[in-house]
Structure 1
């Protein structure tokens, strides 16, 4: 079973978004883009680099460049368990 997004964020993961620019296999002068997103650990980004290695080994379109950003939405110190309920009729 895969951990939920909240569990990943509590373990320090953040959302990594990468934009891949690659050459079309049949038209080498044409660039195309592909957007990839996953929860990853900064600053090493093991999932991103694993995907780049997969791309280079399995995809015919050679990479031109990769642009990425990482956003940590929630950190372990920002999580607080709140108990209570407010009712508004």
Structure 2
């Protein structure tokens, strides 16, 4: 059973976005980019490193570099249960 995004965020996961720069085997002078995004745990980023290892083992385009950012969307201290709604005209 897969957890929802909210459940992952409440357990400390944040959104990790990585931009991978790689070269095609036939065109070594051209850099291409691939964007990867997944909920992951900082600072170890196990899912990101698992994906990079998969890329190096299975994809023919060698990696040039990887740039990534990690953002915690919510944390237990920021969670607020809103019960009402205020409308302003």
Partner Cα distance (2:86, 2:28) in 1: 61
- Alpha-carbon offset, residue 81 of structure 1: 3.1
Alignment deviations for residues 16-42 of structure 1 (CA, whole Å, 9 cap, x no partner): 000000011111111100000000000
- Unaligned 5+ residue runs, structure 1? none
Larger % of strand: which? 2
RMSD: 1.6
Alignment-derived partner of residue 27 in structure 1: 27
- Unaligned 5+ residue runs, structure 2? none
SS at 2:36 equivalent: strand
Alignment-derived partner of residue 68 in structure 1: 68
Asked if 1:46 corresponds to 2:21, the answer is no
Alignment deviations for residues 46-85 of structure 1 (CA, whole Å, 9 cap, x no partner): 0000000000000000000000000101001212334456
Q: TM-score, normalised by structure 1?
A: 0.90
SS at 1:42 equivalent: coil
Number of residues paired by the alignment?
88
SS at 1:2 equivalent: coil
Alignment-derived partner of residue 78 in structure 1: 78
Deviating beyond 2 angstroms after TM superposition, the runs of 4 or more aligned structure 1 residues are: 80-87
Partner Cα distance (2:85, 2:65) in 1: 50
SS at 1:19 equivalent: strand
